[in-house]
Amino acid sequence: MPSDQTKTGATGSNSDIVLRLGTISKSFGRVAALSDVSVAFHAGEVHAVLGENGAGKSTLMNIIKGVFKPTRGQIEVMGKPIAAMTPEISASLGIAIAFQHPAVLSDLSVLENLRVALPDALFEGTSAQSVGRALLDGVGLHVPLEARADTLSVAQLALLEIAKALAIKPRVLILDEPTASLDQDATDMLFARIRDLVAAGTAVIYITHRMAEVRQIAQRVTVLRDGRKRGEALVRDVSDQDLLGMIVGRALGSTFPPKADETGREINLSVRHLSGPQFKDISFDVARGQILGVAGVAGNGQSELMRALAGLLPWQGEVELTGSVLTSQEILHKAAFMPSDRQAEGLASGLTIRENASLAALSGFARFGFVNRKRELEEVAATFQALAVKAPGIEAATASLSGGNQQKVVMARALLSQPGLIVADEPTQGVDVGARAEIYRILRDVSSKGTPVIVNSSDAAELEGLCDSVIVLSRGKVVATLTGADVTEAKIVAAAVSAGSHAEVRQDQVAAQRSGWRHFVQTDNAPVIPLAVVIVLLGLYGFSQNTHFLSAYNVANMLMLATALGFIAMGQNIALLLGGIDLSVGPLAGFMVVVASFFINDGQSGLMILAGFALMLAAGVGVGLINGVLIRFANFTPIAATLAMYIGLQGCSFLLRNGPDGYINSEVVAWITWEFGAIPVAFIVLVAVALGGEYLLRQRRLGWQLRAVGSNEESARRIGVHIDRMYILGYLGSALFTAMGAVMLMAQIGVGDPQQGVNYTLSSITAVVLGGTSLKGGRGTFIGTVMGAILLMEVLNAVAFLGLSQTWQYVFQGALILIAAVVYSTLRNRAAANP
Amino acid sequence: MTPRQPASIRQEGKVFPIAFAKGFITIVAATLILVVLCLVFAPSSVSSGALAGSLPFASVLAIVGLGQMLVVQQGGFDLSVAGGVSLSVVLVTHYPAGDDAQLLPAILIALGCALLIGVCNSLLVGYMRLNAIVATIGVNALIYGGVFAVSGGVPRITTDLLATIAGGSLFGIGNAVVFAAVALGVVALIMKKTVMGRRFEAVGASPALAATIGLPVRRYQMLAYVFAQLLYCLAGILIAGLTTQPTAFQGDPLLLPSVAVVVLGGTSLLGGRGFPVSTVIAALFLNQLSQFSYAVGVPYSAQTIIQALALGFGIGIHSIRLPNKNKKLSTHSNLEETNETYVS
């Protein structure tokens, strides 16, 4: 490290303070995550923030970035106090963050990921490609700009995230565990970049668990513990020993049951060379009556190891439980797993606590497949009593229980299933102090009765109190096995934070140069080619059977029908790209035609006719807004909101007209159906609109944001997309495209008929699926959608033309959508399986 | 563990399933209010004659709703309701062609087809991993292919026997009502009393939890589509008996109401616990709502709007209580700190 930088940082006066936090406090409910943290960050300095899991580091960063609002305290940037920090303000002040879990959208390309997250100004002047290339080169990321982000490895995603943060030449750069997934080369490169930035005057806030990295890169270090600032020092003035002293020493406040005595007990669980996702070559033994702890910095393979031991993840190696060697499937039924995320995996909130507790033991209460209610009640109640579960009743909802009692319900389920092994992942997370002691007692009880217990905890002090032996993991490997008197918080933390090894080089780099063709196959537009082939082949087949099939008249007829469906399907496509669905498009189109049938008649003045069109548009705006608002602000699911709209609109159509009436102005119809040769002009408009939509989708911020929301709402929010606004815009767009479809429909049926239009909901979904849009959101194309509409209409027309019965019309439609869906989903799964 | 007297817990609170009460109370209250309104403003709509006419159709909706509920509670969605019902209608009318002796084989064929369709749906959704909406749209179209292959689109008069079975009455209660009650009884019994049913409910309530205790989640989800088709088939047979000359599209008008009653019954469209009793009551509610509107002279169109409003209102009540599971982060549990969830 050049010595002058160190000097700048070390002698930094108040004048070069870029960011100052004053007595920041933040609580989540009753839990205080941060209390009175004051810290100043200097320009031209790397300031490391060190602390154990849950010390408050990430909360602090989120407060700086404006993601969380502090409960108390001030933030000053360049000496100016900021009243309420938001992600937008922090970005405008030049505060950039690289999240530990990259906010990268897997359905967008690398370049699109850069462009959607970064300001347009960055790409002005030269070509976007060259800017993107330069950004990637800056972090040594050698992947094609067109590659879809889901083909990148974890390390490459981390580099992409860092590239985004560096791109805006930040004044303050926050790096949250940036090296967690990087190998040695990438880490060296990153450190070189950091030194360059610091030399140029950027303040870098570097969050880490690893002391070695602090020594390598940082000038100043702040240690957090239990949400409080434990100390701040210049790195060169402080010893590792002192730093460790600041990190450990949490006050626990709960008591632990006595440990097992160590004398010559038989081993009842033996694990040898266990490897799986995120962990490698793990071996340990658990003796009868002992509890084994798993420790390490969060995200180093502990949770994967726990899931593997519970039979929930695949593994290789050998597991021997009380003398018998188990397979993964056997261990799934032997082990009782207590997951760390109680809300997601530990409890079913729809079931009562009795149902939750007895779930794994039902067959034990049953005879001939029928559950004996009395036995179930007795055993569950007895277990609840043994565990001292405090609940309003045995049929209480899980939500009415405290965290500790919820965890006891999870334990009751584990115990009732009479397991051969208990795997407890963070058993005291979100549990109050009193209940913790009880949970420790129960685990110790179970263990002393002979069931092996394995506990993963990010709290080293808890492991010290509870466990007879502890394995410490780093980057998926055991770096220390502590037993007996060595099981202390200090030794556990020391082993975890001193481990310096880097992620192995498993950079399954996307081949740097792929041909354009390979890229095209990956893109959303790939289905266009097979669709075109099928359309042409079907056309030729029809022609061979009956030459009139490709006559100008019939082609124009097909295209006219496809135009109506095409517009409506494009609307549907927007909803699906968002990750939603719009069931109301069909009845909306029908309703608009009914509305039009009161104004756009023969003999009406031009003004009335214009009013008719305006009302169709207004109906679209209204319906789109209501759909969007219901979904985003009234918490309706997209299906529920648009289903209610579907029924309502159908009613409105019937309210206006009882049966077909109100003939559409023939002159207007003639204009709409005007043909240019065999091609209706409306169809040309459709194609132009589709191409325009495609351009927006691929090349403009609006399109990237739309796909970002559908791809991953959470990541989209983090890169600053307004989710609510996108949803409302999206459903507006859907309704407006439907209005264009309704104009075509009006010309086709020529009369206001309340029964028409409804079928377009399902046809539009069919067309969109044929076009290759994924119902999962984020992926899709307007061109494919239009081709899907053409193919669908061609098939229906061919059935009629070839004199086949109505049976075939349905069979072809059904077969078409199923084949398309199966083919696309198989291809996608294959692409996801081997990127 | 020795069973002890469960002293502390059972006496502290009443033994009342709170989860059950949620959707149940709402829909029961709504139905009671509606009945009172009927008694006051449109007594003709609750006369025994009117009820005898309308309850069979409410029963059909209830049965179809139960089927849809099984699928929805597993996080699915079944658009093949329409086809399933229509196919069984045409099978039991066209095959016997008025001959009572042919009725039983026709019903068996219909049940066989329902099984086949259910398996087809479940394989596409559970095994091929297709989106439920896409898969059931496709299958529905294929079923309609079958409907036209059987019927050619021409209605045929139902057999006398079937008309008696579906349209007759037992101790003054319409047979269709009895069928619906039996269907409800069977579904509720399986769900509450059997190991399979309890596990089925749990898989719906939390697939993630079910996976951690080693339940074959996908298989239970697939099962829902099969049972649903059997119920649609039953509904179709009843319609065939209740209608003298049923058309080929008899199932179409049931599609949306089937979803509506499930939602009004309190089952979340995102999956979760299913509420069979509430679903059936919701069917009665929707049916009576139409009767009421009809009796007070509201035109058909406005009835539909009232239904949409009732549906929107029902969803509104339930969605306020339910957290939006859509917004939940992927279960990447090794976030660095427990509070690293981003507020919206």
User: B10, A393: Cβ pair inside 8 Å?
Assistant: yes
User: A340, B333: Cβ pair inside 8 Å?
Assistant: yes
Residue of B1, B208, B270 lying closest to A383 (CB–CB) = B1
What percent of chain B stands above pLDDT 90? 43
Whether residue A58 has pLDDT greater than 90: no
Residues forming beta bridges with residue A480, ordered by sequence position: A472
pTM above 0.90, yes or no: no
Query: Cα separation of A457 and A296, whole Å?
Result: 8
Banded pLDDT at A509 (limits 50, 70, 90): very low
Enter the ipTM. Answer: 0.83
Q: What is the mean pLDDT of residues A547-570?
A: 92
Q: What is the mean pLDDT of residues B105-118?
A: 95
What is the DSSP track for A408-444?
Answer: HHHHHHHHHT--SEEEEESTTTT--HHHHHHHHHHHH
User: B319, A68: Cβ pair inside 8 Å?
Assistant: no
Q: Which of A59-68, A147-156, A446-455, B18-27 has the highest mean pLDDT?
A: A446-455
Q: What is the mean pLDDT of residues A416-428?
A: 91
Spatial contact of B238 and B60, defined as CB atoms under 8 Å apart: yes
Whether residue B184 has pLDDT greater than 70: yes
Phi, psi of A527 (to 5 degrees): -60, -15
Whether B131 has its CB under 8 Å from any CB of chain A: the answer is: yes
Spatial contact of B314 and B264, defined as CB atoms under 8 Å apart: yes
User: A805, B134: Cβ pair inside 8 Å?
Assistant: no
Banded pLDDT at A831 (limits 50, 70, 90): low
Distances (CA, A) of A193 to A97, A143, A176, A529, B296: 15, 19, 16, 44, 77
Banded pLDDT at B248 (limits 50, 70, 90): confident
Query: Which chain A residues contact residue B194 at CB under 8 A?
Result: 366, 369-371
Spatial contact of A309 and A328, defined as CB atoms under 8 Å apart: no
Taking the CA of residue A634 and the nearest CA in chain B, the distance in Å comes to 7
Q: What is the mean pLDDT of residues A731-737?
A: 96
Residue A668 CB neighbour total at 10 angstroms: 21
| The pLDDT of residue A183 | 80
- Report the mean per-residue pLDDT for chain A: 87
Banded pLDDT at B42 (limits 50, 70, 90): confident
pLDDT digits (tens, 9 = 90+) for A760-789: 998 999 999 999 888 888 889 999 999 999
| The pLDDT of residue B340 | 30
Whether residue A2 has pLDDT greater than 60: no
Phi, psi of A269 (to 5 degrees): -135, 125
Termini Cα distance of chain A: 38
* Placement of tokens 């849809």 in the chain: B68
Whether residue B323 has pLDDT greater than 70: no
Residues forming beta bridges with residue A224, ordered by sequence position: A51, A229
Taking the CA atoms of A316, A321, A326 and A330 in sequence, report the sign of the dihedral they define: negative
* Placement of tokens 């726990």 in the chain: A306
Encoded amino acid at A296, one letter: G
pLDDT digits (tens, 9 = 90+) for A245-262: 888 766 655 678 888 776
Interface of B with A in 23-52 (CB under 8 A): none
- 3-state per-residue secondary structure call for A509-552: CCCCCCCHHHHHHHCCCCCHHHHHHHHHHHHHHHHHHCHHHHCH
Q: Which long-range contacts (CB under 8 A, 24 or more apart) does A673-678 make?
A: A673/A560, A673/A747, A675/A556, A677/A552, A678/A552, A678/A553, A678/A555, A678/A556, A678/A559
Which among A318, A628, A255, A620 is positioned nearest to A444, based on CA atoms? A255
All domains of chain B in start order, with CATH: 51-316 (1.10.3470)
- Pairing mode of beta strands A469-474, A477-483: antiparallel
Query: Cα separation of A457 and A461, whole Å?
Result: 9
Taking the CA of residue B114 and the nearest CA in chain A, the distance in Å comes to 17
- 3-state per-residue secondary structure call for B222-245: HHHHHHHHHHHHHHHHHHHHHCCC
Q: Residue B127 has which token pair?
A: 């095994």
User: B193, A370: Cβ pair inside 8 Å?
Assistant: yes
- Pairing mode of beta strands A661-663, A335-338: unpaired
pLDDT digits (tens, 9 = 90+) for A666-715: 889 999 988 887 889 999 999 999 999 999 999 999 999 999 999 998 88
- How many helices and strands, by DSSP H and E, does chain A display? 32, 26
Across A324-336, b (16+ Cβ under 10 Å) vs e yields: eebebeebbebbb
Which among A400, A820, A540, A6 is positioned nearest to B22, based on CA atoms? A400
* Placement of tokens 């756009």 in the chain: A600
Interface of A with B in 713-742 (CB under 8 A): 713-714, 717-718, 723
| The pLDDT of residue A269 | 92
Residue of B198, B309, B329 lying closest to A714 (CB–CB) = B329
Banded pLDDT at B166 (limits 50, 70, 90): confident
Residue A105: strand, helix, or coil: coil
